[in-house]
Structure 1
Amino acid sequence: MSVALPKLRVGDPVRHEALSVFPLFCEVNGGVDYRLSDAALADESLLVEEVSEGGSVPDLLVENKGDVRVLFLEGEELVGARQNRILNTSVLVAAHTKIRIPVSCVEQGRWGYKSRYFGSSGSHSPSKLRRALKASVNRSIKEKRGHTSDQREVWKEVACLHASHGVESSTAAMSDVFDSYAVRIEEYRDKLKYVEGASGVAVAIGNRVVAVDLFDKPVTCQKVWDRLLSGAVFDALEAGKTDQYASVADVELLVATAVKLPWEQSEAVGEGEEYRAESERGDHASALAFEETVVHGSVVAAL
C-alpha cells in the first residue's frame, strides 16, 4: 500500500546567509479539521504530562479536552515536567481522548519536576537531529518496536549542538541553545518570512537540500513556518559563509525521489494512517494521512 502525495510546485527561494527556504505550492482540497498543539496547550484544552508520577522517558500522556482533534509535529519540542522532550512522529489526537505519545529526551541532565504539565517551546529540531530521529524510528517500526527512537543518538546530536554553538547548559537542555541564540533566530525569521499560499517548505543549507515539510493546507504551513525555521538556523550557522546555493531543480529532485520510494503503511499513534519510506542512499520520509489527505509529510535528506 502506498500514500498519495500531492503534486507540488517549487517556488523561488528566499535566502539569508547559508540558509535557503523554498515555498511549496499544491492544490488544496479543504484540508483536515484540527488545531495545532501549541495553540491547544496555550488555552489548556490540551494537557500533556508524564505518564505517571515516576515518569517514563519515551512516553507522555496527552489529554485532548477540546472538541476538535489536535496535531503534533515530529521534532517539535515540549518543555516542562521532569525533562524536555521532542515528538518522535507526527500525531493526530482525537477530540475528547487520552493517548500516550512517543517522545525522546532533549534534556539529559534533569529528571525532576519543573511543572506538572508541558508547554510548547516554539522550537523545532535541527535537521541533523531530525535525521537521527526519523532514521531510528523507521528502524524501530521495521523491527516492530513501535515509534521508539535511539535515545543515545538523540543525546549525541543534542551534545553536538551545544558544542558546535558554544553553549553550556547545566541540564544539557536543547532549549538552552535556542535561548542563547534567540536574537539570531529572530533575525533569520525576519529575513525569511512565510510566502503567501505555500503549503510546505524545503530547506537548504548551502547547496544541499536537507529537509522538506508539506501540510494539508497553507494556514498550517503559515503557523509552523517560524517554528520550523528555528531549527534550520543552527544548521546554517554551523555551515558558515557560502557562495554555493541549492536550486529549484535540487528540491524537485528530492521530492521526485520521495514520491517514487516504496512507501509502507504502519500503525499511526493517534488518528489516521502513517506511511514511511527510505531510499538506498539514506533519505528518510514519513507521512501522516487522514481520510486520504496528507496532513504532514516530511523528508530528511541523506548526509
Structure 2
Amino acid sequence: MTEVINNVLNEINLFQPESYKNMTIIGFNIPEENPLDLMSLEIGLDLGLVEITEINEGGDVGQVKVINNAVTPLLLLDGEEIIGSKQNRIVNSTIIIPAKSEKNIPVSCTEAGRWNYNSNKFHYSNHMASSRVRRDKLSSVSESLRKSNTFRSNQMEVWKNIEMIEDDLNLINDTSALHDSYNKKSSDIQDYKNAFKIHEKQNGLIVYINGRLVGFEIIYNSTRYKEYHDKLVESYIIDALSKENQEYEKQEFNENTFINRIKESKCEKFDSVGLGIDYRLENEELTGSAVIYKDNLINASFFTKIES
C-alpha cells in the first residue's frame, strides 16, 4: 500500500465495539485531520450549486453529467445514489469535481425496471448502495481499469445483487429500485441505526456481520464523515437484515489483522475521473479503493471477499 495510506492506517484509534443483533461496528478516529474544503454532494444539491442530468436527451446508462457551479471542489463518494431522471444511479468511484466545472462521470443503474424520465434532473437519494453492491461493483470497476482504463462496472452484477437483496428480504419493487428496498425496510433499519451512534471526532468504521469482518470505511475528516455516517451504516444494515438467518465459518482475522493485511497488500495506481489519484487493491482476500488528493487520503473503502 502507499506511504500516505499506511501513515493514516498507523494512526487509527479504535472506539469500543457496538453491537445489535447480527451486526457489530467499531468506529475509529485518526488524530491528524485533513482541513481540505470539499463540498459534499448532498449539500451541493440542496444549495442549488450542483446540477446532475443525463448526458443528453437519450441518456447513457453508464454516465451522467455533473455541473459544479460552486467555488469549492465537489466530493462524490463511491456508491452514493442519485434518483430521478431516466433511472436511479450510483457513483462508480470516489470523484472530486473541480470548482466551476462540469464533467461526465461513470455510474451504475440501481433501478433495472425503468428507462423513462420522471424528472429533468437527478435528486439526492439519502441512501448509498448496499455494502454487497459496493463491494462487487468496486471489484468489477478495478478489473475494468486494468483492462481498458475505464471506470465501468459490471452492470448485470449490480442488478443481480439488488435482486438478491429483494429476494432475501421478501420484497417486490415495481422497478427493482434499490431505493425502494431501503424505504420498505426503514423501520427495521432504524432499529439497527439506533444502536450505532456516532462518536466525537469519528471519521471511519469497521463492520462485522454474523461475526465476519465485511468492510472498512474512512473519510478524510470528522466533519465531512458526520454527513455520511448514517448512510454508510445503513449500507451495511440492509445486508445484515438479508443475512440474519445465515451463518459463516469462523473468520481467521480480526480488525487489527485486517488493517495489517491492507498495509501489506500491493496496490495499483490510476488517474481519477476528477482531481487526485485513484488507488486499487485486489487480491484473494480483499478488494478496495482509495483516493488521494494533494497528498492526503480523502476516502477509502476496503471489503473482505466473504461470498462467491
TM-score by length of 2: 0.93
Question: Is residue 172 from structure 1 mapped to residue 176 from structure 2 by the alignment?
Answer: yes
Residue 295 of structure 2 corresponds to 292
Q: Give the aligned residue type for 2:2.
A: S
Distance 1:252 1:32 in 2: 28
Question: What is the CA distance between 1:140 and its match in structure 2?
Answer: 0.3
The alignment yields a C-alpha RMSD, in angstroms, of 1.8
Question: Is residue 96 from structure 1 mapped to residue 100 from structure 2 by the alignment?
Answer: yes
Q: Deviations over 1:44-98 (max 9, x none)?
A: 1011110000000000100000110111111111101000001110011111000
Equivalent residue for 1:233, pick from 230, 233, 237: 237
Work out whether residues 22 and 203 of structure 1, in 8 Å CA contact, stay in contact via their aligned partners in 2: yes
Q: Secondary structure at the match of 1:202?
A: strand
Q: Which runs of 4+ in 1 moved over 3 A?
A: 241-244
Residue 205 of structure 2 corresponds to 201
Residue 57 of structure 2 corresponds to 53
Distance 2:165 2:247 in 1: 24
Change (3 A) 1:9 1:183: same
Question: What is the CA distance between 1:27 and its match in structure 2?
Answer: 2.4
Residue 125 of structure 1 corresponds to 129
Equivalent residue for 1:161, pick from 142, 161, 165: 165
Change (3 A) 1:108 1:256: same
Q: Secondary structure at the match of 2:42?
A: helix
Question: What is the CA distance between 1:42 and its match in structure 2?
Answer: 1.2
Residue 215 of structure 2 corresponds to 211
Q: Give the aligned residue type for 1:117.
A: K
Q: Deviations over 1:164-215 (max 9, x none)?
A: 1111111111111011011122222222111111111111102111110111
Q: Give the aligned residue type for 1:146.
A: T
Question: What is the CA distance between 1:135 and its match in structure 2?
Answer: 0.7
Q: Secondary structure at the match of 1:235?
A: helix
Structure 2 residue runs without a partner (length 5+) = none
Work out whether residues 97 and 274 of structure 2, in 8 Å CA contact, stay in contact via their aligned partners in 1: yes
Work out whether residues 23 and 211 of structure 2, in 8 Å CA contact, stay in contact via their aligned partners in 1: no
Q: Give the aligned residue type for 2:242.
A: E
Structure 1 residue runs without a partner (length 5+) = none
Change (3 A) 1:243 1:115: closer
Work out whether residues 269 and 280 of structure 2, in 8 Å CA contact, stay in contact via their aligned partners in 1: yes
Change (3 A) 1:282 1:186: same
Distance 1:189 1:270 in 2: 32
Residue 4 of structure 1 corresponds to 4
Work out whether residues 141 and 147 of structure 1, in 8 Å CA contact, stay in contact via their aligned partners in 2: yes
Work out whether residues 130 and 300 of structure 1, in 8 Å CA contact, stay in contact via their aligned partners in 2: no
Equivalent residue for 1:143, pick from 143, 147, 152: 147
Q: Give the aligned residue type for 1:292.
A: D
| Matching of residues 7-86 of structure 1 within 5 Å | 7=10, 8-86=12-90
Distance 1:104 1:48 in 2: 14
Distance 1:147 1:86 in 2: 13
Equivalent residue for 2:226, pick from 214, 222, 228: 222
Residue 304 of structure 2 corresponds to 301
| Matching of residues 244-255 of structure 1 within 5 Å | 250-255=254-259
